[in-house]
Chain A
Amino acid sequence: MGKLFKNFTKKDLGFIGICLILIVLQVALELKMPDYMSAITRLVETEGSSIKEIVLQGVYMLLCALGSLVSAIIVGYFAANLASNFSKTLRDKIFSKVLKFSTKEMKELETSSLITRTTNDITQVEMLISMGLQMIVKAPIMAIWAIFKILNKGMEWSILTAVCVFVLLITIGFLMITVLPRFAKVQKLIDKVNGVTRENLTGIRVIRAFNAEQFQMNRFEKINNDLTNMQLFNQRMFSIMQPIMMLIMNGLTLGIYFIGAFLINNALLSQKITLFSNMVVFSSYGMLVISSFLMLAMIFMMWPRANISAKRINEVLEKEESIRDGNFDEDTKIVGTVEFKNVSFKYPDADEYLLKNISFKVNAGETIAFIGSTGSGKSTLINLVPRFYDTTEGEILVDGVNVRDYKLSVLHNKIGYVPQKAVMFTGTVRENVSYGDNGREKPTDEQIKEAIHVAQGTDFVLKMEEKYDAHIARGGTNISGGQKQRLAIARAIAKNPEIYIFDDSFSALDYKTDVTLRRELKKHTKNATSMIVAQRIGTILNADTIVVLDNGNCVGIGTHKELLKTCEVYKEIALSQLSEEELLNA
């Protein structure tokens, strides 16, 4: 948490200082009020005191209350500004930081976790600042000051108050120790209930086909039971909190009065009135002490959560970026070539190489395809070109220049990348296709339409009501997987890059669309280089070069016909998809 607070600016710290002073003032005023209360009490009790005097004391007290209100409002204003500004700055920092991450960091921290870190975790910290700032400062000052004020007003009362605070803390402590660890478990059980329900929904056909409804119901009921019992235990434990708190607060007042009766009865007549007003004052200070401790207890409950959040945020901010930007941003003599020179790759903390000693070269206008079983390293291989990862050994040259030397934005401008899972952004079709900044002008309407046409998307786009301005919902949920994939391909085309990278981008398309699309694409991108990862033999049959990968090793490079003769792995893959006769005919 401390580290995060370093994000406060000098101005923020100034505000915090002002808040601090105001909070002290607030406490002082609030603690002054019981004095006026006691003055009022004394006046009421003493015969013959004038109403004027009582009203005067009342006005003083109200002035105190008003002063405390005003200072609370000012503190609230600063705190709200401070907290929102702090969270804004943090969000900005994390977001920019994440954008600098490479795939490696994204994988290590996990996308879903990064999302919660940028949203929920920051909200947690923000809440601690906006509420906590006031409480963390106020509660201890209030508690200590109030204790000092009443310390000399009666030993017996002080002991009673101490006992009450003690009981309160014991109760809270007990609850925290017994129940808090179970809260985490509740979350897990809720996840499980969710999980089984999700299973029931996604597997509904299977479950019904197997007549396994009762079987699944039993599984659900078991977890449902566990969850209910855990919740019952926790909440029943917590049920005791409220009555005990009320009992302590009420009991304290009553106890103070009861003890007061004894003290007054045994006191000298001259001290009775003083004692009486002390008693009234004490009962209000006692409340203040108790409520301060309650506030402290609340902070103790909030703190661990916020602290975990702070740690998670720091983890992101302190994460070292593994990809360093180069500075080459000139035009290259050659255009559209990609060359792998003895490239090997492994994850930094892994023992096994994912790619071993891969070398090949592809020239402008050529198509190179990569095939192999899952885990053979084909996706990893093409991910090295746009530097999602850096090679462990060897080098990759794009247009004759090492990718590490390029300014990342310059390198990326040369590449049109289409991932396996199409990514859509909220916005229109047009915005999605013209996404990004290719270092030149944004594509024209004509170019966008052409790109969509090539990607075989014109039909479905025109079917939508707003056509090219049709809205794409968050995550592209309002269009099908195949449609998303086509728009993602259109996006790459609209960018008009030197090098296309298709990471298994065609598998969401059916054969026919796949074929037409690639035919159109070929026409459109005569001069561009294509790098294709594919599962279907049919997709890559006619590539200029096919690279066969097996366990990270390149086990064959050549054309389809060549590989059929020379590469056993290739033949095996091919035969699993097409019959021998079909292969020869192809």
Chain B
Amino acid sequence: MPRPMKGAKTPEKSKDFFGSIQKLLIHLKPWKYLLSLAILLAALSAILALATPNKLSNLTDAITKGITPKTEKLNKINEEILKNLNDESLFEIAISSSLSREDINKFQEINEKINKSESSQQAFFLFTNIPDSILNIILKDITFENSHISIQDQKEFLKVLSTMNQENALEKIDALPESISNLIKPSIDMEKVKDITLFIGSLYLISAIFSYVESFSMTTISNRFAKLLRSKISIKINKLPLKYFDTHETGDVLSRVTNDVDTIAQNLNHSLATLVTSLTLFIGSILMMFSTNGIMSITAILSSLLGFSFLAILLGKSQKYFIKRQEELGNINGYIEEVYSGHNVVKTYNGDKEAILKFGELNQKLYEANRKSQFLSGLMMPIMNFVGNLGYVAVCIVGALLVSKQVISFGVIVAFIIYVRMFTNPLTQIAQAMTALQSTAAAGERVFEFLEENEMTDESHLKKHLEKENVKGVIEFKNVRFGYNEEKTIIHNFSVKVRQGEKVAIVGPTGAGKTTLVNLLMKFYEINGGDILIDGNSIHDLTRENIHELFCMVLQDTWLFDGTVKENIKFNKENLSDEDIWEACKTVGVDHFIKTLPGGLNALISDNDTVSSGQKQLFTIARGNLEKAPFLILDEATSNVDTRTEELVQKAMDQLTIGKTSFIIAHRLSTIKNADLILVMNEGNIIEQGTHEELMKQKGFYEKLYNSQFENTI
């Protein structure tokens, strides 16, 4: 996948590189066959690629053979022709009666000159001057290497030869009569060329197919692996104790599900195969080079290394600028986010001048870092090109030298030109793949760290199960002791008995730990000492799942998911008809509102801005209403719900408490005055308990809290 080039990213360093990679491999076990296949194919495809330069060199040699004329044949034919100018032919001329006197005289004259001639060239020239009648006698049809050369052709041949010199030799040969030129002209062994081409072509094709299958397999593995990791993380979320989420941020877990898994998948997809291919190519090309020619190999490797050492120095120097750039980018992004989201404050406090000043500073710093890192990263490509060219020239020059000394054939140069490329490319790729592996290890570490977190205690041995239809609804806290940390106990020896159908209110200022009691009731956290009894059964003997069945819980942070109103109200309950849902909605009084939504129950909640937080709260109450459980936990709505809806919510909540033993986290004291029991919490502890009247009489914390609502302040 073509991705825009980024300034070389600085890899996140992993704490334990090999450990992390090992874990990664263990998790990859389900795909071990496919993975082996992919790695094998990557290596094979590289090996095939390595085999081609030599073949290409053969092809070049075959072609080169067709370039140089067979000059030695020229002489042989010459000799063959001149052989006929012997005593026998002279005798024949002498006895011939058909010849004119004139011709014979001329011939004798020329013959003498030929004998005296200093160069064969001159001789040829003279030869062509011999009258035709005589030549016809001297020259006889000859057959050279199965090729018939007519007398006419021989005459032509001699004529051409007579004017041939170093410069025009090739043109002259072209001008020779066909019967002769065919013999002298070099010819390429086309059958061989075809064979080699076909062979290399097949190699390319097979290599391409291998590399496609490899890439296809790796894609499959990496995506399936990513899916598995995402699933595992998602399952893990459900198995972790709530404690974990108190100490870890949502964003942190989220980034593991997406960014880290993505990094692993991406790098697995690209780097692993690249690493195998590159290593094979790198080692293979060195082996192949040395097996072809030692001097050329050293030339190629030295010249490339020269370039690379330069590149390495440059990279080392530029690393700090890349880091700097990332830092500055982070700084400026942070500042932008801050100012934009605090826009109103910046404006009303006239902070804009200050902001522009500070932004200018950050921007200038970013500019400096940007400029340098971009320049340096821009240098890579040209330098790589230059290294390539340097290798090329070195190979060509040394190669030419060796060719001229006939140590190697020209084809070797062609092969080496490709070897140089094969040798230099993997080096950069190996470096890149290693960086990628580094960040994979770091990402893997974070994912596995999460997957290896301690899970909630196993409950498979608990066989007791309370049917919610049969539970009366009595709860007893018996000397309960609890602390979020072992060192800091916040609930000491708390005991209270709640009878069937009673209403318990939990009050206290924000941060007083009101949700702690809920956490304990729901067995979200394990108590450190004492016991909580549901209808006389210890919660230690009940599974979390069973306890959850017995409770209906409505929390103040209205949790709705991306889906329709119906899906949200129905949630995980099956076999519910629309009538059941309407019934629940009617009970909490949200039915009219749902009817006004486009699509009614099927309206999507995500893109419906018209649903206010109060109405969302009503949905969650309706959801709770469907859960016919003996216990109820209610976290009252905050002040952010608009006042009109608030009334509805209040009524709906009251409706919900009917016939249930309920625990209400109260924010507004007026609503819980009639509670059977009020638990007052502060700084994690339960400091007072009793009915409204009792607590008011105590004139303690509760009384102050209650009266603070009406204090004269403004």
Contact = CB atoms under 8 A, between A and B. Distances in A.
A98 B245 contact: no
Given A219-B561, A261-B63, A80 B400 contact: no
A119 B227 CA distance: 31
Interface string A324-368: 000000000000000000000000000000000000000000010
Secondary structure class of chain B's binding surface, majority of residues: helix
11 contacts: A40-B396, A51-B400, A80-B372, A221-B231, A234-B1, A254-B200, A269-B174, A276-B67, A374-B612, A491-B349, A576-B647
A386 interface: yes
A30 B459 CA distance: 73
B168 to A, nearest CB: 9
Interface string B672-711: 0100000000000000000000000000000011001111
A44 B336 contact: no
Contacts of B200: 254
B345 interface: yes
A44 B410 contact: yes
Interface stretch (B13-21, B234-242, B490-498, B576-584): B234-242
Interface stretch (B96-104, B109-117, B215-223, B470-478): B215-223
Interface stretch (A144-152, A159-167, A193-201): A193-201
Interface in B475-507: none
B434 interface: no
Contacts of B713: 515, 518-519, 522, 542
Contact of A208 (B170, B193, B524, B638): B524
A174 interface: no
* B174, B397, B642, most chain A CB atoms within 10 A: B397
Contact of A69 (B208, B386, B711): B386
Interface stretch (B75-83, B118-126, B151-159, B545-553): B545-553
Contacts of A224: 227, 230-231, 234
Interface string B326-341: 0001001111111111
Interface stretch (B361-369, B534-542, B590-598): B361-369
Interface in A220-261: 220-221, 224-225, 227-228, 231-232, 234-236, 238-244, 246-247, 250-251, 253-254, 257-258, 260-261
A206 B559 contact: yes
Contacts of A302: 4
A542 B345 contact: no
Interface stretch (A10-18, A57-65, A398-406, A445-453): A57-65
Contacts of A49: 404
Contact of A220 (B174, B234, B245, B382): B234
Interface in A171-223: 190, 192-217, 219-221
Contacts of B224: 228
Given A204-B245, A417-B348, A577-B643, A95 B356 contact: yes
Interface in B369-400: 370-372, 374-375, 378-379, 381-383, 385-386, 389-390, 392-393, 396-397, 399-400
A41 B411 CA distance: 11
A21 interface: no
A251 B201 contact: yes
A380 interface: no
Q: Which 3 pairs of residues, A with B, have the shortest CB-CB distance?
A: A436-B349, A374-B642, A215-B572
A235 B231 contact: no
Nearest to A70: B382
B709 A582 contact: yes
Nearest to A408: B347
B378 A130 contact: yes
Nearest to A197: B257
B254 A81 contact: no
A459 interface: no
Contact of B193 (A85, A99, A200, A261): A261
Given A88-B363, A510-B511, A578-B709, 17 more contacts: A80-B374, A99-B343, A99-B347, A190-B258, A210-B623, A211-B548, A215-B572, A235-B1, A235-B219, A243-B209, A251-B201, A258-B194, A264-B63, A298-B2, A507-B640, A540-B714, A585-B710
Contacts of B212: 239-240, 243
A438 B173 contact: no
A566 interface: no
Contact of B544 (A208, A215, A509, A512): A208
A250 B371 CA distance: 37
Nearest to A367: B714
Interface string B655-676: 0000000000000101001000
Interface in A466-514: 474-475, 480, 482, 488, 491, 495, 507, 509-513
Contact of B173 (A83, A214, A269, A572): A269
A270 B356 CA distance: 75
B363 A92 contact: yes
Interface centre among B173, B511, B642 (most CB of A within 10 A): B642
A25 interface: no
B250 interface: yes
Nearest to A298: B2
Contacts of B68: 47
Contacts of A212: 571-572
A236 B219 contact: yes
Given A201-B254, A228-B227, A210 B710 contact: no
B360 to A, nearest CB: 7
A54 B62 contact: no
A1 to B, nearest CB: 16
Nearest to B510: A510
A562 interface: no
A40 B265 CA distance: 47
Contacts of B230: 193, 220, 224
A18 to B, nearest CB: 15
A84 B253 CA distance: 35
Contact of B642 (A40, A198, A373): A373
Contact of A254 (B201, B548, B712): B201
Interface stretch (B26-34, B181-189, B286-294): B181-189
Given A111-B340, A208-B548, A261-B66, A79 B353 contact: no
A174 to B, nearest CB: 14
A232 B223 contact: yes
A231 B219 CA distance: 9
A264 B258 contact: no
A196 B250 CA distance: 12
Given A43-B400, A373-B642, A435-B349, A512 B59 contact: no
A253 B704 CA distance: 91
Given A45-B67, A438-B350, A99 B250 contact: no
A302 B188 CA distance: 47
A234 to B, nearest CB: 7
Contacts of B339: 95, 99
Contacts of B219: 232, 235-236, 239
B337 to A, nearest CB: 5
A231 B399 CA distance: 48
A32 B56 CA distance: 25
A440 to B, nearest CB: 11
B313 interface: no
A543 interface: yes
B374 A84 contact: yes
A214 B337 contact: no
B509 interface: yes
Nearest to A550: B644
Contacts of A510: 509-511
B283 interface: no
A103 interface: yes
A69 B714 contact: no
Contacts of B265: 231
A540 B639 CA distance: 14
A462 interface: no
A37 B397 CA distance: 10
Contacts of B367: 84-85, 87-88
A195 B62 contact: no
Contact of B56 (A81, A254, A535, A586): A254
